[in-house]
Amino acid sequence: MAYRYLWTPLELGPVTTRNRIVFSAHLTNYARNGKPTEQHAAYYGARAAGGAGLIITEEHSTHPTDWPYEKLIHGFHRDVIPGYRAMTDAVHRHRVPIFAQINHNGGQASSMFSRLPVWAPSAVADPLFREVPKAVTQSEIDEIIAGYALVAEHCAEGGFDGIELQCSHSSIVRGFLSPATNKRTDSYGGSLFNRTTLMLQIVAAVRKVIGSRMALGVRICGDELIEGGTTINDAVEIAKLVEASGQVDYINTSIGVATASLFMIEASMHIPPNYAMFIPSALRKAVELPVVGVGRFKDPLQAERALAEGHCDLVGIVRGQIADADFAAKARAGATDDIRLCLSCNQECVGRMGLNRWLGCIENPRTGREAERSAAALAITHKPSKPKRVMVVGAGPAGLQAAIAAARNGHSVTVYEKEPHAGGQVRLAASVPNRAEFGDMIRNQLTECKRLGIAIEYGVGVWPGFVDEQRPDHVIVATGAEPQRPWWAAAEAHNVCDVRDVLTGDADPFGDVVVIDEVGFHQSTSVAELLADRGCTVEVITNGMVVGQDLGITLDMENWWMRASAKGITQTVELVPMGMDGVTLSLLHHPTGTNVTRTPDWVVLATHASPVEWLYLDLKAAGRSVERIGDCVAPRRAHAAVVEGERAGASV
Amino acid sequence: MICVVRLLEPLTIGTATAPNRVMFGPIVTNLADDDRAFTARHLAFYRARSAGGCGIIVTEEASVHPSDWPYERAPLAANCPAGWKAIADACHRDGSLVIAALGHSGGQGSSAYSQSPLLAPSRVAEVNTREVPKSMEVDDIRAVIAGFVAAARTAIAAGCDGVEINAGQHSLVRQFLSGLTNHRGDEWGSDRLKFAAEILSGVRAAIGADRVVGLRLSCDELAPWAGITPEMAPEIAVALAAHIDYLTVVRGSIYTVEKTRPDFHEPPGFNIDLCRSIRSSLDPSIVVFLQGSVVDSGQAEWAVNGGVCDGVEMTRAQLADPQLVAKLRAGHAERIRPCIRCNQTCQARDARNPIITCVVEPSTGHESSDPDWYLSTHHRRDVLVIGGGPAGLEAARVAAVKGHCVQLVEAADHVGGNAAYIANVTPFTDWLAAEVNRLGVSVTLGARVDARPMATKPALTTSARAGAAGGFTCADAAKVEGRQILLQATGSVRGARPFTSDEHANIADIADVRSGVVTIPEDGPVLLFDPIGGPIAVAMAEHFGSRASLLTQDQISGNELSRSGDLAPANARLQQAGVRIERRTILRHVAADHVVVEDRFTGGQRNIPCVALIDCGFRLPAPPIPGADIAAGDCVAPRTILEAVLEGRRAANSLDTVPAN
């Protein structure tokens, strides 16, 4: 496919972007003590080097009353400016413009860090933070506006090319715009026009500070997806008012409220791509200003199509460039297949944000560590003086990543996989229809293996004698984990199987099925859906307080509940399996100590696996140069496999 | 009241002598920096306790090995020498012993920061995260033991008087000791004491006989099917006693993390029997400390006198009042600010990295940045505090200490506000009332003030229910500067209701139910609408028991209780009491005999019968009083006691800045 639009420049006021790909604003938790860090500079610098057209940084707070999470950049302190300089220099080095997003989160915060009352248009508690805010007075509104102007000044001094006002999903401006949170009766509340007053006052104050040499953008929410919130018609009117101010150079878009409908802002693979396209599309029809579209843009062709169909002028691609910093450069060079496609799994990017951890990526171990320069840092390429022959056992995510990292450093790598295909458990997980995109992880790794000339021998099991024959200099064991029967399920019970047995087709449960969830993630919910789709009556039982507890972290919980309800899947919590007598499953309701039973046709286990460690232990005992990675160390999630694979391969 | 004597006597621990028998135990603070080192904030935090007379300060646990990074701001021993030295130097000047807590969380740690597998004796998944640890290879075991020894050496070289090895909650050492978590077939499993014994003997050999080695030991894992039981614990303690100078008796396992430092739902001194049995099994030369919600000095004195223990860990009590020992020495036990065991803000092991603090003493954790609240004023003002809840009482108290002329009016017939109706909080509101009284603040009950008098002359009449503030002038008017300052602390009123209702619907505000203004029918189902998920609706639901249904939009009732550790216990108590928990439920409409609710995910509606609905939702600030100069607490924005106390203090400290005319 030829690109007609993606690589064309665009003027945003005084700034020209070289292409239409935006690395739009998102939290990173890279700040320390309220200041941007070297990691920020390296992170944004890597995306600029990788060909992005425009970088918009994470939010900079405009006022001390705004401190919703620990690692927020306090833009209102002058001591942020050296960090700003480092960030903008790192990006400008690649002739890419960089804008700062400035923001006050308003009532979408708590006083935990600030020890100050939270400020909002009205005393309406946020559904996530659950703290009643203080309704701001006129003098406090003046202070808010002055805060934006002050931070804009810091940004100008720090070398930014533009400012974006986040008025969309977690902002005091959103609070004023939305009838759900603005209950004021003064000139800041009531009509839509009144509700835009604060936004327009901030626009004017910021423009006054930055003059005409910097661009100014406003990010608007197209649908808050909450009761009584703003919807697309409001958004169109707001966009018109923004344009009419004559002081704004572009409009960015978003969907949802960060503290109420986050699962639609950072949608996982269960939400179709382009789901938010109606927003830029509607706004672009109403205004002349360039409009940015966002919402699970995974690949450059999809981005091109959005531009070609006239939905937007620029495309925000965040997770795509988190997964592959060279997304744009690879696309531009025609090497689309080489792009490490984002899975939209949300495990290490979005999933770490809510837990106050630094932003990473399930399949890109470099993300979040761009600034590490020590010899021990991951993925630092150095050619060994004497390349080694490396044997990798197992072609799951751990083994493949180890092979990639070792081959990148010039070692000669052969991967042995006992199955006829690569991917291990990831391949199985992705075999469930609505989890298919998870399989892109293996596709990406195999593409990289091919590019690096790594040999993969399928259908070859490895045993110590084979290693003696092959005489590799180093062995990396990545043999994964195998299902194990929990103590309460007899090995001979043939109406019991593991999730993996269902996915491979080795077991075909029917009728009434109980799925036991002791892992708390997609294993139980995926198999439950699959079996419900096949006509089974499914109950998922967990010993925890919530089935699939970690689906909340990846923003899959809401969708799971909607799908599970539609499919008639029941969910029962706080039950511990105590034994199985033929067809009768005994369970203990642990909060009350009462016993219950089930008599299903099948029991499917989403329980902890057991590492396949014998090969590693044998080789180690024999004095081989060997190490083990991934699930054969301890059964965990794919990210642990990739991190350990990268570490092992890079340190051969 | 018990006369506190023994508790204040010196205590010999090995070759060291503590000035008294009160310990400040190792507690997670989140005061460490990004490099996992102690900070100036730590120093100020511990210094406040040593200055207050604490006998033994055990610093926040440091990980002994890089494989352990249990929470982001967990100190790492290798990075702690400078911090330990600063803390030891400062606290030694006050006479306290300083002991460095050392540990490894094992399978109860986190891999999120290290990006490395968790280490544990066997592959037993962590209960909350469900992460499966690596079953340690012998090399791993040797490395961790060496880590303990090296860390002990580092701590002693930095000037600490000793080290305390954690075999209590969140500890690899306990995971080796316990059959719950140690399923090994090798010598480290056949002899489950081996790991602890090698660590303790290695540490002892490294630091010598003239330094203190302590052990924090879980003596009841509350999991008798495989865990350490009270019957087994003395044997373990005796077996390890050869290497140690003191032992702190704690309880809890991987399945009962919240039972180690529980909130007020567990009785104070819950480890007394356990501790007594350990004390009686051990040689008298080994000092035994009692731990477990001991917040009252009378109970501590009784325990020391009664052969329960030789010393007492009173950590939360000294978070609430760092001056605890000093006040005891001065004979003013009644002036000790009481810990209410709420656990709301002192449990800092939370992904958000909250700084440790205390609801009744909000400067805890902020010692190095908060002002000295009690500096005497040079501008004595006439202050009228309107409202006698926690914010008003604290403002009055601090203003009076600073030397202002303070009066307080309260509309109700008692002080304490809504907090006075919560059983575990009343010791604090009673303390505030007593302090305010002691400081000579004049308190008028049953009187409302709705405005500053408009006339230039003070209004002459002020009776109960009278409107303006005119009657409350300073008795010593000649000695105050400027006009009277009105400080509003009038609390909250009921909030907007996000549901519709019929005319005959029986909807009660939770504050009115608690205060007894409104009574709920004797029979029939009662619904509690709880969009907050905090302790208040849960407590009320427990009160109504099997009559009650708790409506929440969340997947879990009491969703916000995880920080205090009461989440799982609250859900168990509710279900044991027969309370129905209506999860994922949005309240739409209240009729006379039922409510209409909606499923959050499917939108499906159904009716639930009830005779009354108790609204436990968000509240609104009381309306502003015309002419008020300063506002504090819920009348600014309805929040918790912590914010009320903090803003009360800040209000008292801002009096000097209010214009005189």
Q: Which of B275, B310, B335 is the last residue of a domain?
A: B335
Over range B559-575, report the average pLDDT: 96
> Is residue A373, in this structure, part of any structural domain at all?
no
Amino acid type, A554: T
Tell me which residues of chain B, numbers 343 to 362, contact chain A at a CB-CB cutoff of 8 Å.
Answer: 351-354, 362
> Is residue B52, in this structure, part of any structural domain at all?
yes
Least confident of B210-219, B469-478, B525-534: B469-478
B489-498 confidence digits (pLDDT tens): 999 999 999 9
B532–A130 CB contact, under 8 Å: yes
Which residues in A lie closer than 8 A to residue B362 (C-beta atoms)?
115
> Is residue A504, in this structure, part of any structural domain at all?
yes
> Is residue A644, in this structure, part of any structural domain at all?
yes
Which residues in B lie closer than 8 A to residue A112 (C-beta atoms)?
352, 354
Among A33, A134, A546, select the one facing B637 at the smallest CB separation.
A134
User: Element (H or E) spanning B565, and its range?
Assistant: none
Cα separations (Å) of A29 from A324, A383, A461, B349?
19, 33, 43, 18
Mean pLDDT rounded to a whole number for chain B: 95
Q: Looking at residue A542, what is its pLDDT?
A: 98
- Do B31 and B153 belong together in one domain? yes
> Is residue B341, in this structure, part of any structural domain at all?
no
Alpha helices, DSSP H only, in B2-122? 40-51, 81-93
Residue with tokens 């080796």: B176
Tell me which residues of chain B, numbers 446 to 475, contact chain A at a CB-CB cutoff of 8 Å.
Answer: none
Q: Looking at residue B473, what is its pLDDT?
A: 74
Cβ A475 vs Cβ A393: under 8 Å = yes
B352–A134 CB contact, under 8 Å: no
A308-318 confidence digits (pLDDT tens): 999 999 999 99
Three-state secondary-structure class, residue A605: strand
> Is residue B366, in this structure, part of any structural domain at all?
no
Residue with tokens 């880590």: B147
Q: How far apart (Å, rounded) are the C-alpha atoms in residues A135 and A144?
A: 13
B620–A132 CB contact, under 8 Å: yes
Domain that holds residue A630: 389-483+611-650
Among A124, A130, A640, select the one facing B111 at the smallest CB separation.
A640
Three-state secondary-structure class, residue B498: coil
Q: Looking at residue A433, what is its pLDDT?
A: 87
Shortest distance between the Cα of A383 and any Cα of chain B, in A, equals 26
B575 touches chain A (CB under 8 A): yes
- Do A479 and A590 belong together in one domain? no
- Do B153 and B264 belong together in one domain? yes
Amino acid type, A629: I
- Do A591 and A621 belong together in one domain? no
Least confident of A128-142, A269-283, A362-376: A362-376
CATH number at residue B428: 3.40.50.720
Q: How far apart (Å, rounded) are the C-alpha atoms in residues A512 and A527?
A: 14
How many domains, chain B?
3
Amino acid type, B529: F
Q: Retrieve residue A566's tokens.
A: 């539609």
Q: Retrieve residue B375's tokens.
A: 């500096």
Which residues in B lie closer than 8 A to residue A610 (C-beta atoms)?
123
Residue B606: phi and psi, rounded to 5, are -155, 165
> Is residue A362, in this structure, part of any structural domain at all?
no
Tell me which residues of chain B, numbers 641 to 660, contact chain A at a CB-CB cutoff of 8 Å.
Answer: 643, 646
- Do B387 and B487 belong together in one domain? yes
Q: Looking at residue A2, what is its pLDDT?
A: 82
A565–B555 CB contact, under 8 Å: no
Q: How far apart (Å, rounded) are the C-alpha atoms in residues B145 and B194?
A: 11
> Is residue A374, in this structure, part of any structural domain at all?
no
B140 touches chain A (CB under 8 A): no
Q: Looking at residue A1, what is its pLDDT?
A: 59
B40 touches chain A (CB under 8 A): no
Q: What is the DSSP letter of B299?
A: H
Q: What sign does the CA torsion over A290, A61, A95, A294 have? A: negative
CATH number at residue A270: 3.20.20.70
Which residues in A lie closer than 8 A to residue B568 (C-beta atoms)?
545
B336 band by pLDDT with thresholds 50, 70 and 90: very high
Over range B101-127, report the average pLDDT: 97
Q: Looking at residue B330, what is its pLDDT?
A: 97
Q: Looking at residue A383, what is its pLDDT?
A: 65
Which residues in B lie closer than 8 A to residue A125 (C-beta atoms)?
531-532, 618
Three-state secondary-structure class, residue A106: coil
Whether A454 shows a pLDDT value over 70: the answer reads yes
- Do A550 and A566 belong together in one domain? yes
Over range B297-306, report the average pLDDT: 97
Mean pLDDT rounded to a whole number for chain A: 96
A381 band by pLDDT with thresholds 50, 70 and 90: low
Q: Which of A329, A353, A377 is the last residue of a domain?
A: A353
Closest CA to B358 of B593, B29, B128, B617: B29
Q: Looking at residue B1, what is its pLDDT?
A: 56
B601-653 confidence digits (pLDDT tens): 999 999 999 999 999 999 999 999 999 999 999 999 999 999 999 999 999 99
A1-34 confidence digits (pLDDT tens): 589 999 999 999 999 999 999 999 999 999 999 9
B376-430 confidence digits (pLDDT tens): 999 999 999 999 999 999 999 999 999 999 999 999 999 999 999 999 999 999 9
Beta strands at A481-482 and A610-611: parallel, antiparallel or unpaired: antiparallel
- Do B104 and B24 belong together in one domain? yes
Residue with tokens 């303390």: B431
Say how many CB pairs under 8 Å bridge A and B. Answer: 119
- Do B434 and B522 belong together in one domain? no
Report the DSSP beta bridge partners of residue B286: none
Over range A115-129, report the average pLDDT: 98
A123–B620 CB contact, under 8 Å: yes
B115 touches chain A (CB under 8 A): yes
> Is residue A464, in this structure, part of any structural domain at all?
yes
Over range A124-136, report the average pLDDT: 98
Shortest distance between the Cα of B541 and any Cα of chain A, in A, equals 16
- Do A72 and A183 belong together in one domain? yes
B130–A518 CB contact, under 8 Å: yes
- Do B11 and B101 belong together in one domain? yes
Residue of A27, A30, A112, A261 to mutate, testing the B interface (most B Cβ within 10 Å of its Cβ): A112
Q: Looking at residue B457, what is its pLDDT?
A: 42
> Is residue B319, in this structure, part of any structural domain at all?
yes
Closest CA to B648 of B661, B627, B631, B626: B631
Over range A282-291, report the average pLDDT: 98
> Is residue B375, in this structure, part of any structural domain at all?
no
Query: Which of left, alpha, beta for A377 (phi over 0: left; psi -120 to 50: alpha)?
Result: beta
Cβ count within 10 A of residue B623 = 11
- Do A564 and A420 belong together in one domain? no
Over range B265-283, report the average pLDDT: 98
Cβ A398 vs Cβ A629: under 8 Å = yes
- Do A572 and A628 belong together in one domain? no
B159-209 confidence digits (pLDDT tens): 999 999 999 999 999 999 999 999 999 999 999 999 999 999 999 999 999
- Do B37 and B177 belong together in one domain? yes
> Is residue B165, in this structure, part of any structural domain at all?
yes
Q: Retrieve residue B391's tokens.
A: 């914010």
- Do A525 and A579 belong together in one domain? yes
Q: How far apart (Å, rounded) are the C-alpha atoms in residues B215 and A270?
A: 51
Q: Looking at residue B458, what is its pLDDT?
A: 42
CATH number at residue A571: 3.50.50.60
Shortest distance between the Cα of B94 and any Cα of chain A, in A, equals 31
Cβ B245 vs Cβ B287: under 8 Å = yes
Q: How far apart (Å, rounded) are the C-alpha atoms in residues B526 and B544?
A: 8
Residue of A30, A37, A115, A596 to mutate, testing the B interface (most B Cβ within 10 Å of its Cβ): A115
Which residues in B lie closer than 8 A to residue A115 (C-beta atoms)?
362, 366, 646
Amino acid type, A309: E
Q: Retrieve residue A584's tokens.
A: 């009768």
Q: How far apart (Å, rounded) are the C-alpha atoms in residues A322 and A327?
A: 9
- Do A619 and A566 belong together in one domain? no
Alpha-carbon dihedral B225, B227, B233, B238, rounded to 10 degrees: 120
Which residues in A lie closer than 8 A to residue B113 (C-beta atoms)?
357
Which residues in B lie closer than 8 A to residue A131 (C-beta atoms)?
637, 639
User: Element (H or E) spanning A101, and its range?
Assistant: strand A98-103
A133–B637 CB contact, under 8 Å: yes
A592–B351 CB contact, under 8 Å: no
CATH number at residue B518: 3.50.50.60
Q: Retrieve residue A123's tokens.
A: 């005393």
Tell me which residues of chain B, numbers 588 to 607, contact chain A at a CB-CB cutoff of 8 Å.
Answer: 599-602
Beta strands at B594-599 and B605-609: parallel, antiparallel or unpaired: antiparallel
Burial B108-130 (b: 16+ CB within 10 A, else e): bbbbbbebbbbbbbbbbbbbebb
Which residues in B lie closer than 8 A to residue A546 (C-beta atoms)?
555-556
Q: Looking at residue B661, what is its pLDDT?
A: 80
Q: How far apart (Å, rounded) are the C-alpha atoms in residues A49 and B171?
A: 45
Q: Looking at residue B465, what is its pLDDT?
A: 43
How many domains, chain A?
3
Q: What sign does the CA torsion over B132, B136, B137, B143 have? A: positive
Which residues in B lie closer than 8 A to residue A636 (C-beta atoms)?
111, 117, 131-132
CATH number at residue A634: 3.40.50.720
Q: Looking at residue A279, what is its pLDDT?
A: 98
Domain that holds residue B507: 500-618
A650 band by pLDDT with thresholds 50, 70 and 90: very high
Beta strands at A496-498 and A602-606: parallel, antiparallel or unpaired: parallel
Over range B585-593, report the average pLDDT: 97
Q: Looking at residue B362, what is its pLDDT?
A: 98
A586-620 confidence digits (pLDDT tens): 999 999 999 999 999 999 999 999 999 999 999 99
Shortest distance between the Cα of A459 and any Cα of chain B, in A, equals 28
B637–A117 CB contact, under 8 Å: yes
Cβ count within 10 A of residue B186 = 11
- Do A601 and A616 belong together in one domain? no
For B226, residues 6+ apart whose C-beta sits below 8 A from its C-beta are B178, B179, B180
- Do A452 and A586 belong together in one domain? no
A134–B117 CB contact, under 8 Å: no
Three-state secondary-structure class, residue A197: helix
> Is residue B151, in this structure, part of any structural domain at all?
yes
- Do B508 and B459 belong together in one domain? no
A359 band by pLDDT with thresholds 50, 70 and 90: very high
Report the DSSP beta bridge partners of residue A134: A119
Residue B248: phi and psi, rounded to 5, are -105, 125
> Is residue B354, in this structure, part of any structural domain at all?
no
Q: How far apart (Å, rounded) are the C-alpha atoms in residues A471 and B91?
A: 61
ipTM for the assembly = 0.96
- Do A434 and A285 belong together in one domain? no
A132–B638 CB contact, under 8 Å: yes
B220-232 confidence digits (pLDDT tens): 999 999 999 999 9
- Do B450 and B566 belong together in one domain? no
B556 touches chain A (CB under 8 A): yes
- Do B59 and B195 belong together in one domain? yes
- Do A53 and A186 belong together in one domain? yes
> Is residue A262, in this structure, part of any structural domain at all?
yes
Q: How far apart are the first and last CA of chain A?
A: 40
- Do B530 and B628 belong together in one domain? no
Whether B249 shows a pLDDT value over 60: the answer reads yes
Residue B469: phi and psi, rounded to 5, are -85, 0
Residue with tokens 């303070």: B406
> Is residue A372, in this structure, part of any structural domain at all?
no
- Do B632 and B505 belong together in one domain? no
Whether A320 shows a pLDDT value over 60: the answer reads yes
User: Element (H or E) spanning A402, and its range?
Assistant: helix A397-408
Closest CA to A87 of A134, A30, A130, A44: A44
Q: Looking at residue A419, what is its pLDDT?
A: 97
